[in-house]
DNA sequence: AGCCCACAAACCTAAGTATAATTTTACTAC
DNA sequence: GTAGTAAAATTATACTTAGGTTTGTGGGCT
């Protein structure tokens, strides 16, 4: 709320979403900046796609308002580029002279919306709110998966092997037989797995394995 | 392959996908019929949306090629209609005079593709193949969920209650305490649950509960 | 030295099964 | 309504199996 909460004193800025804008038309950049700032949204504008890639993207819910027609590679190609680089920022396209095939390609590529100039301010704001919410949710699950993966990384090879078998529902004695081990060895590994994965019950562990996409590879 | 395999002698027709076509232009209906039949796809054509709704839809992977401009309600409205009626057939739109907002609405509504007339035959076929594959997958998971739900329906109220607690990872004694029961009672219910749900292990049961979206409601 | 891995003995808790009995609930028949 | 009945729910006893921890031992690898 207060001005100094946005200062560099603390990472408070890491919590407010950002709208990125890429458009080669300076007047459009200005108009969009005003529009978004008028509703309290943080904005960052660029005149071309490479400019945005060179600035490092903050770890905040965000979206991108992207003109289809750009100097250099087109907005659609940039969308493809981002996807290839595993950057999943939601995109809202704007265009003055778009056609239907462009629109289809953009939407198939996961775009949130595709607005034709001139567009109504409210349509743009609606699209941006939707896009940021989508990004927020995506980051949420991504964070959960990343945390889980970090735990999984701490497992030894043997433990990972046994985790897969446990999650598939085998009994300790079956796992022992499958791996040529004594049952007690499996039990001990299993205890370590529970601790390392932070699982408080078998149900918990099974769900975590599910989230990690862990399945037995042997059939 | 042979003609008689399509006869009514056996429900073989239930396995081959169908392309539905709704277009008020008879020549377009004929052209599309020829196109799809030329690659061995079964086709059913209608001149208007209600005609399709009145014929009962077979339980087969299928898709719908739909003209945007229709007598009566538009293709887009029909898409909305279908969604509201919980009919999730993948749609490929075709249009002679479409615009971008129409395209966006269609794609947001889950359309597979949006082709402008005249379109290339190969583009249409690609879209149809994609759409049918999507429908096939959707039906696959829907079937699994339906089967699971049928099993869940056989559970008594108490068993459902206990299933939720088991799946959340509680021990029998904790469940007993929560419900004011003796531990032995929980064990017996639990045995019934395993049998009825066809679960061969706790891990199995947890995954099935997950698929059913079962979570504890009490906190 | 510090892991990862394996295993054993001893012990304890949790889970599951079988049998049997009682009670509650719900619904049907008269 | 009331009696009858079937399913659901509860519990007890007794027993078996599975899961899990602790402590300790030893080998292999870096």
Cβ(A113)–Cβ(B104) under 8 Å? yes
Helix (H) / strand (E) containing A76: helix A75-84
The rounded percent of chain A whose pLDDT value lies above 90 is 86
Closest approach of B105 to chain A, Cα-based (Å): 9
pLDDT digits (tens, 9 = 90+) for B139-155: 999 999 999 999 999 99
Report which DSSP code applies to A5: G
Strand C bases contacted by the protein (CB, 7 Å):
3-10, 14-20
Q: For B146 and D9, how far is CA from C1' in angstroms?
A: 28
**Gap between the Cα atoms of B71 and B47, Å rounded:** 9
What CATH fold (topology level) applies to the domain A6-140?
Rossmann fold (3.40.50)
Nearest CA to B66 among B81, B49, B83, B50?
A: B49
**Of A169, A201, A210, which has the smallest distance from its Cβ to B201's Cβ?**
A169
Cβ(A114)–Cβ(B104) under 8 Å? yes
Sheet holding A91-95, edge to edge: A42-46, A18-22, A62-67, A91-95, A113-116
Question: Is residue A13 pLDDT above 60, yes or no?
Answer: no
What CATH fold (topology level) applies to the domain B154-211?
Arc Repressor Mutant, subunit A (1.10.10)
**Gap between the Cα atoms of A163 and A99, Å rounded:** 52
**Gap between the Cα atoms of A144 and A211, Å rounded:** 9
Q: Which of A39-53, A165-179, B3-17 has the weakest average pLDDT?
A: B3-17
pLDDT digits (tens, 9 = 90+) for A51-100: 998 888 899 999 999 999 998 889 999 999 999 999 999 999 999 999 99
Q: Decide: helix, strand or coil at residue A24.
A: coil
Do B207 and A203 count as a contact with CB atoms less than 8 A apart? no
Tell me, rounded to whole angstroms, the distance of Cα B203 from its chain centroid: 27
Nearest CA to A92 among A64, A126, A54, A122?
A: A64
pLDDT at B2: 37
Nearest CA to A104 among B57, B134, B94, B150?
A: B94
> Residue B190, CB, less than 7 Å from strand D?
no
Q: Which residue is nearest to nucleotide C6 (CA to C1')?
A: A185
Sequence spans of domains, chain B: 6-140, 154-211
**Secondary structure of chain B in the HEC alphabet?**
CCHHHHCCCCHHHHHCCEEEEECCCHHHHHHHHHHHHHCCCEEEEECCHHHHHHCCCCCCCEEEEEECCCCCCCHHHHHHHHHHCCCCCCEEEEECCCCHHHHHHHHHCCCCEEEECCCCHHHHHHHHHHHHHHHHHHHHHHHHHHHHHHHHHCCCHHHHHHHHHHHCCCCHHHHHHHHCCCHHHHHHHHHHHHHHHCCCCHHHHHHHHHHHCCCCCCC
**Gap between the Cα atoms of A138 and A88, Å rounded:** 9
Q: CB atoms < 10 A from the CB of A1, how many? A: 4
Cβ(A149)–Cβ(A213) under 8 Å? no
Mutate to test the interface with B, among A206, A208, A209, A212 (most CBs of B within 10 A): A206
Do A203 and B202 count as a contact with CB atoms less than 8 A apart? yes
Nearest CA to A52 among A72, A38, A31?
A: A72
pLDDT at B10: 42
**Gap between the Cα atoms of B35 and A156, Å rounded:** 57
Cβ(A179)–Cβ(A161) under 8 Å? yes
pLDDT at A14: 61
pLDDT in tens, chain B (219 residues): 333 343 333 444 468 999 999 999 999 999 999 999 999 999 999 999 999 988 888 999 999 999 999 988 899 999 999 999 999 999 999 999 999 999 999 999 999 999 999 999 999 999 999 999 999 999 999 999 999 999 999 999 999 999 999 999 999 999 999 999 999 999 999 999 999 999 999 999 999 999 999 988 644
**Gap between the Cα atoms of A154 and A166, Å rounded:** 17
Cβ(B51)–Cβ(B71) under 8 Å? no
Closest nucleotide to residue A183 (Cα to C1')? C7
* Per-chain mean pLDDT for chain B: 92
Q: CB atoms < 10 A from the CB of A138, how many? A: 14
Q: For B170 and D1, how far is CA from C1' in angstroms?
A: 45
Is this model's pTM higher than 0.95 or not?
no
pLDDT digits (tens, 9 = 90+) for A119-154: 999 999 999 999 999 999 999 999 999 999 999 999
Cis ω before B151 (30° cut-off from 0): no
**Of B99, B103, B167, which has the smallest distance from its Cβ to A203's Cβ?**
B167
pLDDT digits (tens, 9 = 90+) for B184-217: 999 999 999 999 999 999 999 999 999 999 988 6
Closest approach of B199 to chain A, Cα-based (Å): 10
Cβ(A187)–Cβ(A136) under 8 Å? no
Mean of pLDDT values over A174-203: 98
């Amino acid at each position: 709320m207060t001005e100094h909460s946005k200062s560099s004193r603390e990472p408070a800025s890491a919590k407010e979403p950002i709208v990125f804008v890429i458009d080669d038309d300076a007047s459009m950049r200005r108009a969009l900046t005003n529009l978004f700032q008028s509703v309290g949204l943080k904005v960052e504008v660029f005149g071309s796609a490479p400019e945005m890639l060179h600035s490092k993207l903050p770890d905040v819910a965000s979206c991108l308002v992207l003109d289809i027609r750009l100097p250099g590679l087109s907005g659609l190609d940039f969308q493809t580029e981002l996807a290839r680089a595993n950057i999943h920022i939601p995109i809202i396209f704007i265009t003055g002279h778009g056609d239907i095939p462009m629109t289809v390609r953009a939407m198939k590529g996961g775009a949130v919306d595709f607005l034709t100039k001139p567009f109504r301010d409210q349509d743009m704001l609606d699209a941006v709110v939707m896009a940021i919410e989508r990004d927020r949710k995506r980051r949420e699950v991504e964070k959960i998966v990343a945390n889980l993966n970090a735990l999984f990384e701490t497992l030894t090879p043997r433990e990972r092997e046994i985790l897969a078998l446990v999650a598939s529902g085998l009994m300790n004695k079956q796992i022992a037989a499958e791996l040529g081990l004594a049952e007690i060895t499996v039990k001990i590994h299993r205890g370590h797995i529970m601790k390392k994965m932070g699982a408080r019950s078998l149900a918990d562990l099974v769900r975590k394995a599910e989230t990690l996409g862990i399945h037995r590879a042997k059939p």
